[in-house]
A and B are shown apart, each in its own frame.
Chain A
C-alpha cells in the first residue's frame, strides 16, 4: 500500500544562524536599499558598517531578499578586498603598500608592523585589539608612509616609532 507522501523540507531558512541583532541589521539594510538600482554593493556596505563584517548567514538572507543566488552574493563579497567575512579586531590598521609610500620607507614600516604586532596581514592580534590589513594607496602619496585606522583616521609620515605609539594609543582606547 502506498504511503502518504511527506513534504521534505529542503529549504533552509535564510540567515538561520544570525543573532536577532544581526538579522535586524541585515533586514534594515535590504529593506532600505533593495529598490535602488544596483542595490548589492550599498547593502553590503551598510551591513558591514553596522556589524563590522558580513556573516556567512547574512549572505543567504541578502540573496533571498534580492532574489539572487547565494553564489552571486558570495562571489561579490569575496571579490572585494574591503569586505570581511570574519569579525575584525577592535581597530583595523591599514598600511599602504603602494610605490609612493615604498619610496618613503613603507617596506620597512610594513616589516616593523608585522614584527611588533606579531601577526601577518589579514590577521588580528591575540588580544583582539588590532587587525592588520594592506591597502593599495590612500591618496596621501606626498606624505607617506601612510596608515589609515578604522577607515577614517589618516596618518602621514608614519615611522616605526610613531606606528608603535599609534598602536599603543589604540590598544587603550575601546
Chain B
C-alpha cells in the first residue's frame, strides 16, 4: 500500500516553497521507485514550520518542517516515509505545542483533509450539519444559530441569528414595484473581501476547507429560503479563488449544491465573484453595490441589507468565518458551541498572529484568552528579539495598544472597554523600532486612498489628517495641530457614514494617547 504524504496548498505555505517541495518529493519518489500518494491539504497554521509536510504512519501523522526542496533527498535517506528521525522531524503533528492547546471548531478540518474532496469532507464530519438542517424548519435553524450566541466574525460582531431571522421573516413583496416585477428571490452573500492587514483566517479557511463555507452558506439558504448565494472574494486571493471553484464544482457533482440538495428537493446555487482591489468593498453595502456592477460606494442605512440587499431583495451578508462556524453549530447543537467563550462573546475565534513575532500563524481559541498569552506563549515574542512596543488588533482601523493593555482578554466587550476593537481577530505586533507618528500618518493615508468618496469627513478629512500629521512631524505649531487632529478625529468619528471614516481615528488617537513621545518635538535631524 502506498504511503500518504500531506503537503499544504495554502498560499503562505506555497510562498514559503511548498510547491517546490512537493515537486521534489514526487521526483525523488519516482527516482527511488517508491509509490506515494500526495495530498495537497490546507495549512495547519503554524507558519514558522511551513512548508510542513506530514506522513501518515499507521494512522498517526508525523510532521516535518520547515522542509525546503533541498531537504527532500536527505529525508528520503533518513526514511521519513516510515516516520523516522531527521533534523526536521517534529513528531506527531497533533502534539506540536503551538497546535496542541488550541480549540479548533471552525478550523477543525483545516490542514487535515484534502480541501476540495467531498468524500474526505464527509469522512471528517462534513455535511452533517446540513443533513440535520434539511430535516428542520427554517425557523428552527435560525433559532439554533441564535441560541449558539454566534456573532458576526467579520468585525462588527452583530448577532448572526438576528440577521438571519430578519431575512427569514422578510417579505419579498415590494409595494413600489408593479406586480410583474415582483420576485420572491432572497440571497445569501458571503463577504470574503478580507482586506484588513494582519488577517488571513478567511483565506486559510477558503483554501484549507472551502466546503465548510459552502455548507454554511447552504444551511443559511435553507434557513431563510434563499436559493442563490454569492461569495464576494477579493482578487488578491488567487489561491483561494482556485480552491473555492474546485470545491463548488465538486459539491455540484456530488449533489450538495444545485436544484436538489442531497435529494431533499431544496435548491441552492453558489457562485464566486471577484472584487477588484477596493478595501471599502468589505463594507457590506459597498460589497452589494459592487456585486450589482457598480462603484463600491456605500449605501445609506436603513434600509438594512437584510430587508433590501442585493438587487433590492432580502439578503444575508456574513463573513467567511461566520458561515463556516454554522455547520458545527447545526451538527453538535447550539449548547455545544455556546459552552465555549466568555460573557457575550460565545464560541471560538480564529486569531491571526502577524507582523513582528517569532511564531506567526493561526490560533483558534475560545474567547477569554489574553493578548499577552497570544503574543508571548503562542507568538514567542518579537521576531527581531527587541521588545514588543505596540500591537494593532483588528486591522487598519484598530487601535494601537501598548504593553500596559496586553492583559486585555479576547472578548468583544473587553476590547471595546479598552477603546479598541477585536474586529476580525488579526493581531499585528511591532517592535520598539516603530515610529508611531508614521503609523498614525499611514492610517490617515490609507483612509484617503481607500475612501469611497461618498461622505465628506472620510473623503476630505483623511487627506487633511495626513497634512496635519506632517505639520506635527515638521514641528509647525505642534500644540495647535495636535488639538486640530483631535478635532478632526472627532468629526470623522461622528460624521462619517461607515466604519472606514468612523474608525480611522482609532489608530490615530491611540497612537497619540499611548505613545505621545513620538509626537513630541523632534530634532532637526
On A, residues with C-beta under 8 Å from B are 37-42, 44-45, 72, 75-76, 79-83, 94, 98-104, 107, 135-144, 146, 148, 151-152, 154-157
Contacts and interface: CB of A to CB of B under 8 A. Distances in A.
Interface string B188-214: 000000111111101100000000000
B277 interface: yes
A38 B232 CA distance: 12
Contact of B196 (A39, A137, A156): A137
Contacts of A42: 273-274
Contact of B428 (A94, A99, A155): A99
Contacts of B196: 137
Given A41-B290, A79-B295, A142 B277 contact: no
Contacts of B235: 45, 82, 151
Given A41-B276, A79-B297, A142-B12, 17 more contacts: A37-B311, A79-B452, A98-B197, A98-B396, A99-B439, A100-B426, A102-B430, A104-B355, A136-B279, A138-B11, A138-B236, A139-B200, A139-B240, A140-B15, A144-B354, A154-B15, A156-B16
B15 A104 contact: no
Interface of B: 11-12, 14-16, 47, 50, 194-200, 202-203, 235-240, 273-279, 290-297, 311, 352-357, 360-361, 383, 392, 396, 426, 428-431, 434, 438-439, 442, 446, 449-450, 452
Nearest to A138: B236
Contacts of B293: 38-41, 76
A141 B354 contact: yes
A72 B297 CA distance: 13
B203 A38 contact: no
B15 A155 contact: yes
B506 to A, nearest CB: 13
A94 B235 CA distance: 13
B278 A79 contact: yes
B359 to A, nearest CB: 9
Contact of B352 (A103, A142, A155, A157): A142
Contacts of B274: 41-42, 45
A151 B238 contact: yes
A67 B9 CA distance: 42
Contacts of A40: 293-294
A98 B353 CA distance: 15
A46 to B, nearest CB: 10
Scoring A100, A107, A138, A141 by chain B CB atoms within 10 A of each residue's CB, the highest score goes to A100
Contact of A76 (B200, B236, B295): B295
Given A137-B236, A140-B12, A45 B276 contact: yes
A39 B236 CA distance: 20
